[in-house]
Amino acid sequence: MPDSEIELQERLKEAGNGLLNPPSSVDNLLDLLDCYDWGAYCREDKLERFLSNVDQAPPRSMQDALLPTMKALISSVLLRHSDEDVRFAVASCMSEITRITAPDAPYNDDQMKEIFQLTVASFKKLSHASGHCYTKAISILENVARVRVKSLVNGIDFCFTNFSCLCHFLKDIGATADSMYCSISH
């Protein structure tokens, strides 16, 4: 991980600028976003790891460093990517962006609605009670609980989305309900 705040800002800018013209290969794209290799080795130079090291309400210089990443992640190329793993990685990065910018919404209402729908879709991974996808889904859920995403999208009609989210959640928690409850109740 970067040794200093300035190095973290530079790495975030580089990662964001790299995603503004994303690679066409899914593997190369995931290599920038996420720990796609689910083996024991996972490089530290992934966008999600950088984002997880940014404090909430960062100084202006860090906010400026986040701009290329925020612009890239909201692009339809990434947000609506055809590959499920890419969308899952984007949802995870978006949950970090939302955590960082809370209580302010990082995007406009329509964009937040789309991000929230992507986040809800990621909860399907909660049915896999172990492994990388489950761990990442729990992390997304923790960020959603921490930020209270509903307060960010207050003015938007989310009845259907909230119902959809609840259905996914209730269907998928199954035997893992206790560990998830402990995770989000803290």
What band does 20 get if pLDDT is binned at 50, 70 and 90?
very high
Count the domains in the chain: 1
> How many percent of the chain have pLDDT more than 70?
68
Q: What pLDDT is stored for residue 171 in this prediction? A: 55
Domain holding 102: CATH number? 1.25.10
- Long-range pairs for 140-145: beta carbons < 8 A, 24 or more residues apart: 140/91, 140/92, 140/95, 141/180, 141/183, 141/184, 142/183, 142/184, 143/95, 143/96, 143/98, 143/99, 144/95, 144/98, 144/119, 145/184
Rounded to whole angstroms, the Cα distance separating 137 from 88 reads 9
Q: What is the dihedral of CA 9, 15, 17, 22, to 10 degrees?
A: -170
Residue pair 94/119 in contact by the 8 Å Cβ criterion: yes
Structure-token pair, residue 7: 């190095």
Rounded average pLDDT over 147-153: 56
Q: Does the pLDDT of residue 98 top 50, yes or no?
A: yes
**95: part of which helix (H) or strand (E)?**
helix 84-101
Instruction: Give residue-wise pLDDT tens across range 103-137.
Output: 888 999 889 989 988 988 887 777 766 666 777 77
In this prediction, residues 39-50 reach a mean pLDDT of 65
Full domain range(s) for residue 91: 5-185
**How far, in Å, CA of 100 to CA of 98, rounded?**
5
